[in-house]
Structure 1
Amino acid sequence: MSQTRDRILDAFRDQVSDDGVASATLEAVARRAGVSKGGLLYHFGSKRALVDGLAERLRESTRRNVDRAEEGDPVRVFLETSTPDEAEARDYWAVFAAVRAGGQDVGADTRRAVAEVFEVWGRLLGEAIDDPVTADLVRLAGDGLYLSAVTGLPVPDRPRIDAVVRRLIDAADG
């Protein structure tokens, strides 16, 4: 992806995260990205294309994590990626906000991309952990950590998170 496209997506994400979906007009995003409206439209023809672009960025991130999980320990990778960095958390917040707001700015592909993230991890954990209840506990704990980070809610400090991860890995290992 080009630097300009990334800068525009970052500007869109930040506009939605800071001021809400309705504030993310093409003009506001172009201004924030430091490009002309024509430059923005060259890369993204609509607000819907911006939402789709951000969802695709998240889909790619998930693919990389799933590839890592399939090569090694899905439980460990899932839990390690359950505390995203700030940029990824803001990406998800913007996509979740857009999906929640609904309307013509959110297409079926974006809704599918969000659902796929949860579905793929549920499948991988279900395959990796013999007990389905333990698999659900691991997934729900990881999702809770992730959603806390995405929404800006408090999360435990790093040592506590590491202890939770160890406990869940031990439980998954039986």
Structure 2
Amino acid sequence: MNEETARRRGRPSSKERALDAALEIVLESGAGHLTFEALAEKSGISRGGLLYNFPSKQALLKDLVRRYIEQCRQEIDAIEADRPPTLNSAIRKLVEQRLSSPPHDRRAAGSMLAAMAEDPALVEPVREHHEELANEIRATSERPDLAFVAWMALEGLFFQELFGLSPMSSEERVSLIERIRELADPPRPSP
């Protein structure tokens, strides 16, 4: 059975299984411990099968980063998917996606950072993704300057929490999130 048939039947392809196993290895031990031997053992896929999908470790890491970006994009697009784009919708969706991401996704983001540290060329797809988000924010925001402040505050919060550096109490975090939401979608004056 080929990869496409497996996908249609609801089973992940060997490439997706390998990426899942690679992410587990990176989450458990770091990108430096991601080897084809470790991946073959974790995924149950032969080294030859892995090399068919990923001719190098760089190709594997690149696909991990690509998949993470695609998952983020799908999560963003799913928010308010049943509604037409409105004023401030791009930044509002980005805020909600980032705030609703489960701890596993945050660990995956940390793993992607580790992969990028190992191979700085992997930053490029992330940079492109951020440029797309910035263009959407510019195109849909009433006040792009405030939307960018909200986005950067959100990213700061995300990375502070990712690395366990946040000095804020729970109450301060809730208050900060309220301010970020207000910046992302400021209330309009009453007529």
What TM-score do the two structures reach when normalised by structure 2? 0.70
| Structure 1 stretches lacking a partner, 5+ long | none
Which whole-Å CA distance do the structure 1 matches of 2:140 and 2:177 have between them?
16
Which whole-Å CA distance do the structure 1 matches of 2:128 and 2:167 have between them?
24
Conserved in 1, the CA contact under 8 Å of 2:157 and 2:166?
Answer: no
Q: Which amino acid aligns with 2:24?
A: D
Q: CA deviation at 1:53?
A: 1.3
User: Does 2:137 correspond to 1:121?
Assistant: no
Q: Give per-residue Cα distances to partners, 1:20-71, cap 9 Å, x unaligned.
A: 2221111011112232222322332221121121122123223324534684
Which whole-Å CA distance do the structure 1 matches of 2:128 and 2:97 have between them?
16
Which whole-Å CA distance do the structure 2 matches of 1:152 and 1:9 have between them?
26
Structure 1 residue ranges, 4+ long, deviating more than 4 angstroms after superposition = 68-71, 152-163
Q: Give per-residue Cα distances to partners, 1:122-142, cap 9 Å, x unaligned.
A: 232333333343122211122
Between 157-166 and 41-50, the greater mean CA deviation after superposition:
157-166
Q: Residues 60 and 121 (structure 1 numbering): CA distance in 2 closer, same or farther, change over 3 Å?
A: same
Q: Counterpart of 1:74?
A: 90
Count of matched residue pairs: 169
More helix by share: 1
Which whole-Å CA distance do the structure 2 matches of 1:157 and 1:85 have between them?
19
Q: Counterpart of 1:97?
A: 114
Give the root-mean-square deviation of aligned CA atoms.
3.0
Which whole-Å CA distance do the structure 1 matches of 2:168 and 2:43 have between them?
34
Q: Counterpart of 1:30?
A: 40
Q: CA deviation at 1:154?
A: 5.3
User: Does 2:190 correspond to 1:173?
Assistant: no
Which whole-Å CA distance do the structure 2 matches of 1:126 and 1:158 have between them?
32
Between 147-156 and 123-132, the greater mean CA deviation after superposition:
147-156
Q: Counterpart of 2:3?
A: none
Conserved in 2, the CA contact under 8 Å of 1:54 and 1:91?
Answer: no
Q: Residues 163 and 77 (structure 1 numbering): CA distance in 2 closer, same or farther, change over 3 Å?
A: farther
User: Does 2:142 correspond to 1:130?
Assistant: yes
Q: Which amino acid aligns with 2:186?
A: D
User: Does 2:64 correspond to 1:51?
Assistant: no
Q: Percent identity?
A: 25
Task: Compare CA radii of gyration and give the structure with the larger one.
Answer: 2
Q: Which amino acid aligns with 2:49?
A: G
Conserved in 2, the CA contact under 8 Å of 1:75 and 1:169?
Answer: no
What TM-score do the two structures reach when normalised by structure 1? 0.75
